[in-house]
Amino acid sequence: MKIAGALVGLFLLGLSPGVAQAAWPPSDGQGVCKVTKTVDVAAAMRDGVILRADVYRPVTDKPVPVILMRTQYGKAAAQVQPERFQSPEWYASHCYIVVVQDIRGQYASDGVFDEYSHDRDDGYDSVEWAAKLPGSNGKVGMYGSSYVGATQWLAATAAPPSLKAIVPSNTASDYYDGWTYEDGAFRLAFIENWMAETIAESAAVNRKDDATAQSLKIAGLDIAKWMRFAPYDALPIFAPKDPAVAPYFFDAIKHPTNDAYWKAFSIEARYDKVAVPALAFDGWYDAFVNGALKNFNGVQAKGATPEARASQRIVIGPWEHIGWGRPDAVVSPKLKAIGPVADSPVNELTLAWFDHFLKGEDNGVETGPRVDYFVMGENRWHVAHEWPLAATQYQSWLLGSGGHAASVMGDGTLSLSAVVAGASDSFVYDPANPVPSVGGHSCCAWNTGPQGQFDQSAIEQRPDILVYTSAPLTAPLEVTGPVTVVLYARSTAPDTDFTAKLVDVAPDGEAINIANGIQRASYRESEEHPTLITPGEVYRYEIHVWPTSNLFKAGHEIRLEISSSDYPQFDPNPNTGATLRTTTAVKTAEQTILHDADHPSALILPVIPAGAEGPGADKPPTH
């Protein structure tokens, strides 16, 4: 099957070729302790498998806490680049033992790598091993980003007694919804690329399968081609006949619903086991911000101890997955142009968090519940103590048109009052020519996947995108919180997708994506038991557009794009009742969006009244 549309490039979790990098990490802020390093320190897991870590020791006679990173991306790298964390030596200089461990089956560690499945037990065992290292005071904290955040949450749900605090960045609450799938759709651009370009290749190197490692490296250079390959369950780069290459990819394909396979790893189902304070970092264009906010609320409601319930904090900036601001980081141009106010305070705030919870220092760090969030458009930091914000007022912006909302040249409107007019709009969705992803909340770098802020003007001229636009705003309107689209729609297909994108339109016509979401029709009621739709029948859908914080300035317009594809951010729905995970057959579908008095399709915005937050700050929080 051939899919026309978006041009996507090489995906990677590190640096991009040709991007110059300034010196990182900076040398300032060092602590008072000198540091020694020991490599490949062995730790035996409960089943006898040996994992290895690099241990950085402060030169001191006093027992000190341990900071542990468990990574599948190489302990030598320690997630320092691209301009993310300070070096392990920097943290150790503040009088901590720092342990950076390769997880099972990756880099220097023994055993067979299998995504998610070992990290709860191995996390528990590694925490308790680290707590008993010579010079340790028995208290352990964990830090790291992405899957290295997952290793923290998985360990926390096992409740190792020596774990006292975690700092998970850019990571999710569930490995089915919001990681591998999103409201029924497969997160193609993230999952296929990430597994091919990083974890499958490094696992092959670990087991000394050099031929497979080399083939995966070459496949990574052609990843745009391989994302067009269907069916996914026969993807040649992972060699289905040899499950050792990437069995977790085929497991993901074999389990398209939230079944027992996924529930075994779920964080959301185990909030009542979490007994530690958590300081999370995430970004409005990150692949996992929705799950990070679920974790924030979930542990507050169900955490195992009063301290855990009271000590949840999250910091959300105008960031992508690895784009954390800073002058030479890999950040999409429009977000990068925000400047230093958008730089991540992850290292300063992490150190303050550990100093408080591992050393008992009364250092002024606010432990929560607290949300530090960046309002884009205003470009200032604000603080709340709940999510969504207590001041939120939900506004329903109703869709309207004269029946010709297809493309930006049409007559689609958004209004706070009902506009019946044509009462419906239609378009044809062709899975062989899906709408290209232009920015979004995929993973993991803006120049290698659908992530970040971009002008949507070019694709808005397509006839398979319905465009609904408000009148120019007479006053600024802040939107902060979860965004929902209620859509009344019918399709000629037994299954299909509906996508929604919130856009900020400047007076000069530049149309910037703020947040997006998708709903697979068959998953409209349940992610465990999907059911097909009846062609021609009208259904009510709720599309969960991901949370955001944006100030729509006076003179700007609010825009909503509705379509049925967002490729390669998500797999195109073939409109047959099957999926491209298992088939290549596709057919076109005619989609109709209703917006009459009986079918009030609407964009529901979480609006923060002017003055409700205070003036905000022009620097990120450090305490």
213 contacts 201 by C-beta, under 8 angstroms: yes
Q: Which of 287, 289, 335 is nearest to 314 (CA)?
A: 289
Question: Which residue carries 């700092």 as its tokens?
Answer: 167
Q: Exposure string (b/e) for 238-251, b if CB count within 10 Å is 16 or more? A: beeeeeebbbbbbb
Beta strands in 363-496, from DSSP E residues, in sequence order = 370-375, 380-384, 393-400, 413-415, 424-429, 440-441, 451-452, 466-469, 477-491
CA torsion sign for 78, 83, 85, 88 is positive
Backbone angles phi, psi at 96, to 5 degrees: -125, 145
Question: Which residue carries 């089943």 as its tokens?
Answer: 47
CA distance linking residue 332 with residue 326, whole number of Å:
12
177 contacts 104 by C-beta, under 8 angstroms: no
Coil, helix or strand for 162?
coil
> How many C-beta atoms lie closer than 10 Å to residue 148's C-beta?
24
Q: What is the DSSP letter of 576?
A: S
Cα angle 554-558-564, degrees, rounded to a multiple of 5:
165
145 is a catalytic site residue? no
Alpha helices in 360-417 (DSSP H): none
58 contacts 92 by C-beta, under 8 angstroms: yes
Asked if the bond preceding 82 is cis, omega within 30° of 0, the reply is yes
Torsion of CA 183, 189, 191, 194, to 10 degrees: -150
Catalytic residue among 94, 118, 321, 599: 321
321 is a catalytic site residue? yes
CA distance linking residue 541 with residue 525, whole number of Å:
9
Beta strands in 72-161, from DSSP E residues, in sequence order = 97-102, 136-145
Catalytic residue among 117, 126, 146, 266: 146
343 contacts 318 by C-beta, under 8 angstroms: no
343 contacts 381 by C-beta, under 8 angstroms: no
> How many C-beta atoms lie closer than 10 Å to residue 458's C-beta?
12
Catalytic residue among 125, 286, 355, 566: 286
> How many C-beta atoms lie closer than 10 Å to residue 468's C-beta?
27
233 is a catalytic site residue? no
Question: Hey, what long-range contacts does 381-387 have (CB within 8 A, 24 or more apart)?
Answer: 381/341, 381/616, 381/617, 381/618, 381/619, 381/620, 381/621, 382/613, 382/614, 382/616, 382/617, 383/621, 384/613, 387/293, 387/296, 387/297, 387/314, 387/481
* Active-site annotation, residues: 146, 286, 321
